[in-house]
Amino acid sequence: MKVIHLSDIHLTKNRNEKMFDVNPYKNFDFVCQEICRIKNLTQIELIVVSGDISDNGDIESYRYFLTKMDSLKTPYIAILGNHDLKDNFDIAFNEKKSGYIITSGDYQNENWHIISVDTVVEKEDYGFITENNLIELERKIINNNGINTAVFMHHHAIPVNTPIVDSCMLNNANSLLTICEKYKVKFIGSGHAHTSRIWHNNNMTISVAPAVVFQWILGTEIVKISKGFGFNIIDFSKNLSLTSCLY
């Protein structure tokens, strides 16, 4: 199974508005074109979008996102990030009635169970997984009947050594990692850091996807960006592999 992992699109209210001289709509449109091209080369079973779809939670930005995602004609999971507003996303979704979005946030085939986890704290940049959500995650993993598990969320759980984002990462990352290590979760994917990073911990792969809008300069403590952008392709085969598509 091959999965495309997008993150941090940051669509603005005005389609001509730029963030640090970057137009997020232009980048997102390009990424969607690339996904269509890649789909002609290899089978993509699922797309996971791990948060910050919108920069300010504007309803129109969600309408645009849902229309573009439906045009890809591929099942997808949409996880919200700290910049998103769930009420506005729900308004746009109820208008659009997307035919490809997986509203449960989970996806399962004969070999893998993909589970999404909510890490958003309202009106805060940092992430936190509530006790109830940790219990629910553990329950889902236990009920997997021995198949491989992959967990996706917005906030990163391991520092990427860039202070501007490590200051607002997942606050209770140790609680998540303890559960994942206990039950031998194979993969954890996130966004938020605007940085492409991958770690291998025994049989677990932990990945941060590059942002669709822009990347932070490695190690920066202030607003300092690279205009590069991209996404990951994850091959959930026997020997799990990951390709970062950077532009």
pLDDT digits (tens, 9 = 90+) for 36-84: 999 999 999 999 999 999 999 999 999 999 999 999 999 999 999 999 9
pLDDT at 225: 94
pLDDT digits (tens, 9 = 90+) for 209-243: 999 999 999 999 999 999 899 999 999 998 899 99
**132-146 mean pLDDT:** 93
What average pLDDT does the chain have? Answer: 96
**What is the spatial distance between Cα 54 and Cα 42, in angstroms, rounded to a whole number?**
29
Residue 98 has pLDDT above 90, yes or no: no
Percent of the chain having pLDDT more than 90?
A: 94
* Whether domain 2-246 has CATH 3.60.21.10: yes
Question: What predicted TM-score, i.e. pTM, was given to this entire model?
Answer: 0.96
**What is the spatial distance between Cα 55 and Cα 217, in angstroms, rounded to a whole number?**
19
Residue 202 has pLDDT above 90, yes or no: no
pLDDT at 146: 82
pLDDT at 220: 95
**173-177 mean pLDDT:** 98
pLDDT at 41: 96
**119-143 mean pLDDT:** 97
Question: Domain spans of the chain?
Answer: 2-246
- Which tokens sit at 240? 């799990």
pLDDT at 238: 82
pLDDT at 151: 98
Residue 145 has pLDDT above 80, yes or no: no
pLDDT at 239: 87
**123-129 mean pLDDT:** 97
Residue 104 has pLDDT above 90, yes or no: yes
Contact 129, 170 (CB under 8 A): yes
Percent of the chain having pLDDT more than 70?
A: 100
**What is the spatial distance between Cα 230 and Cα 247, in angstroms, rounded to a whole number?**
6
Contact 226, 211 (CB under 8 A): no
* Neighbour count for residue 24 (Cβ, 10 Å): 25
Give pairs for 101-104: CB < 8 Å, separation 24+.
Answer: 101/66, 101/69, 101/75, 101/76, 101/77, 102/75, 102/76, 102/77
